[in-house]
Amino acid sequence: MKATLLLMNRAPYAGTLARAGLDAALAYAAFDQSVSVLFAGPGVLQLAPAQEPAAIGRKSLRRLIDSMPLYDLEAVYADSEALDRHGLAEDDLPAFVTVLDPAAQRELQDRHEHLLAF
C-alpha cells in the first residue's frame, strides 16, 4: 500500500482549500489507506481551539479534525515552528496530534511515497 502524506498549509477560513484537504484526509482514512496529515505554515491555525466561525457562516474545522480518530486517522502532526509563529502551544492541540521539528518532518516525508499539498 502506498503511504500518503497530506500537507495542510492553508489558514482555515481564507478560502475553502483547508476544508477540501481535510475532506480528502478523511476519505483516505475511510478507504483504509495508509495516510498521515501534517499541519504546517498557516495551516496550523486549523488546529486552534475554540474556533467560532459561525459568525462568518462557516463550520468549525477544529470539530472536523477532532473527529479524525473516529476514522482511525491518528497519524496527525504539526510543525513546531509554525505553532510558535502563530502563538499556539501543544496544549491547544487535539491530544492525538504530535508536534514535529523540521528534521522530524523531513523523516516523516521520507516515510511516505506520496505528498499531496493543500
Partner 1 sequence: MRYALLVLAPPQASAVHRAAIALCEAAIAAGHALPRVFFSDAGTQVALDSTVPPGDEPSAREGWQALARNHGVELIACIGSAVRHGVLDADEAARFERPAATLAEGFTLGGLGLLVEATAAADRALTFGGGAP
Nearer to partner 1, 23 or 90 (CB): 23
C-alpha cell at 48: 486552534
Contact 105, 61 (CB under 8 A): no
Nearest distance from C-beta of residue 24 to partner 1, angstroms: 6
Nearer to partner 1, 95 or 111 (CB): 111
b/e map 17-43, b = 16+ CB within 10 Å: bbbebbebbbebbeeeebbbbbbbbbb
Contact 72, 28 (CB under 8 A): no
Nearer to partner 1, 30 or 95 (CB): 30
Nearest distance from C-beta of residue 91 to partner 1, angstroms: 26
State the alpha helices, DSSP H only, in 42-112: 61-66, 80-85, 102-110
Residues that bind partner 1 (CB under 8 A): 1-2, 4, 7-10, 15-17, 20-21, 23-24, 27-28, 31, 33, 40-41, 43, 109, 113-118
Nearer to partner 1, 29 or 88 (CB): 29
The one-letter code for the residue type at 2 is K
